Homo-oligomer: A and B are copies of this chain.
């Protein structure tokens, strides 16, 4: 049995984060010691490591919740799990495309600066006017994660 501190150190997750995961129901309520402190089994460590790793791979907590509940049902077909991973890959690819365009545009903007005063700086101007842009980096709001 591990205390919350040991668990966090083992899984690479901060203690308040573990309590947060419990609070939102991503981790089950932990057993408690006589003194009301949380105690964790090896299985709990595995579950937390799964969460941590999936977070590192960019999955949302919602997706992780689904993955965990799937992994608790071993005789279901795995297509649902794969679909979540495929969706995450698509998300990553979409972000990559967007960020690639941003990179190109920012580099291009930076080349416009010849130094000097702000009044003459083409960088400020380029930031203000999309019609000076070479690429179309205006995508409908991709949210934000990773």
Chain A residues within 8 Å of B, Cβ to Cβ: 46, 49-50, 53-54, 56-58, 67, 70-71, 73-79, 81-82, 85-86, 88-89, 92-93, 95-96, 98-100, 102-103, 105-107, 109-110, 113, 115-121, 123-124, 127-130, 137-138, 142, 144-146
Looking at chain A's contact residues, the main secondary structure is helix
> What B residues does A79 contact at CB under 8 A?
115
Are B57 and A99 neighbours in the complex by a CB distance under 8 Å?
Answer: no
Given A85-B110, A106-B92, A130-B53, answer yes or no on A71-B118 (Cβ-Cβ < 8 Å).
yes
- Closest 9 interchain pairs by CB? A74-B119, A78-B121, A50-B128, A89-B106, A144-B144, A78-B118, A71-B124, A92-B103, A56-B138
